[in-house]
Amino acid sequence: MSMEEVGLLEGMLSRYSPTGSEAVAVGYLVEWMGARGMDAFVDSAGNAVGSLGDGPREIILLGHIDTVPGEIPVRLEGDTLWGRGAVDAKGPLACFTSAAARLRAVPGWKVSVVGAVAEEGDSHGCIGLFDRHSPEMVIIGEPSGWDRITLGYKGSAWLRYEVKRPVAHSASLSGSAAEAAVAYWNNLVQVAQEYNEPHERIFEQLTPSLRGINSHSADFVESAQLEIGLRLPPGLSVQQAYEMCKAVTGDGELTLQSGMPAWRSEKNTPLVRALLAAIRRSGGQPGFVLKSGSSDMNLAGLAWKCPIVAYGPGDSELDHTPDEHILIPEYLSAVQVLVDALVHVMDKVLIEAGTKS
């Protein structure tokens, strides 16, 4: 079975699918799932969906099939497979799909694999699931390493700052729009530092990043624009972060482009316990991870309010890099852990509910 599972991942990587161009990869995944007995289709959002079983209780394995731009030649050398998405996040999605294909239907349960579109964009693939599914448990496909479970992601806010000034001679003391924009950025960094003083852990800190800067002049007016990203800790809402940044705008204008709150899951749930036990049975020493980025887990956790974690093979330090690759033994270990965890959690929940003898 392992060669087939490696072939699935290699096939997914060979179908380059940056955000907005996922259809070919989606079609490939749907065909693969359908050929292995799953009820497979493309939903109205463009996601690849494959389900096993028809019970009223659903576990969703939610990965994303889109990638950031930047094609990487797909090659397998020894135990290492290179390709865009090997880690973020076709590796975890192929792990989910392979695990579901190994399962037998469990009465009372449905296991659904979703290869969502646009996670690297506006997440409309994930959002489109909320009205059609009411899962009991969710696993998000993101790299954590085969022996690690991700419990939380920081939130995010994307801002644009613009300041305009009358054109002045370079010898003038009035200050340019570009200088005003730089001053605003420095003030914003100071605000974040003050917020972070009582918080030692990065997951609890507000972290700003300058993503772009531009300036131009026309009709005797010069302007400067900053594109700013914020990573938000739990307890700091998107609106609260925006108001903090707005308080230091000076004579510029700050616009909130988009955002999502942080999410952190509980440790003591049947899903977490099943994954911990499965990792141990495979010889690993399990641990927990809190990520400084964000993912579809932020949105899905808030919408479904059920036990939810992120799990998947791969080193997240390779996300979005030109050296993105995955180790095949780790990938296959994650498949086995997931199969083991799913079987045990479904059986245990049914037994505890008194519906299985």
Lowest mean pLDDT among 70-74, 134-138, 149-153, 249-253: 249-253
Catalytic residue among 10, 22, 66, 330: 66
Domains present along the chain, CATH in parentheses: 2-153+263-352 (3.40.630.10), 156-260 (3.30.70.360)
Q: What pLDDT is stored for residue 310 in this prediction?
A: 98
User: What is d(CA 306, CA 135) in angstroms, rounded to the nearest whole number?
Assistant: 7
250 compared with 89, residue with greater pLDDT: 89
Query: Which value, in Å, is the radius of gyration of the alpha carbons in the chain?
Result: 23
Q: How confident is the model at residue 353 (pLDDT cuts 50, 70, 90)?
A: low
For residue 86, what are the contacts with CB-CB under 8 A and spacing of at least 6?
9, 13, 72, 314, 318, 324, 325, 326
d(CA 319, CA 312): 13
Active-site hit among 5, 10, 58, 119: 119
Tens-place pLDDT, residues 258-315: 999 999 999 999 999 999 999 999 999 999 999 999 999 999 999 999 999 999 999 9
- Is 66 noted as a catalytic residue in this protein? yes
Other CB atoms within a 10 A radius of the CB of residue 307 amount to: 22
Active site residue 197: no
Residue 170 clears pLDDT 80, i.e. is over it: no
Please determine, for residue 218, whether its predicted confidence score (pLDDT) is greater than 90.
no
* Interval 167-174 mean pLDDT: 54
Q: Which of 216, 196, 214, 197 is nearest to 206 (CA)?
A: 196
| Residue 251 pLDDT greater than 90, yes or no | no
| DSSP 8-class letter at 146 | T
Reply yes or no on whether the pLDDT at 357 is more than 50: no
Give yes or no for residue 175 having a pLDDT over 70: yes
Alpha carbon distance 298, 250 (integer Å) = 32
Helix axes 90-102, 328-352, angle to 10 degrees: 50
pLDDT at 171: 44
Identify whether the C-beta of residue 222 lies closer than 8 Å to the C-beta of residue 176: yes
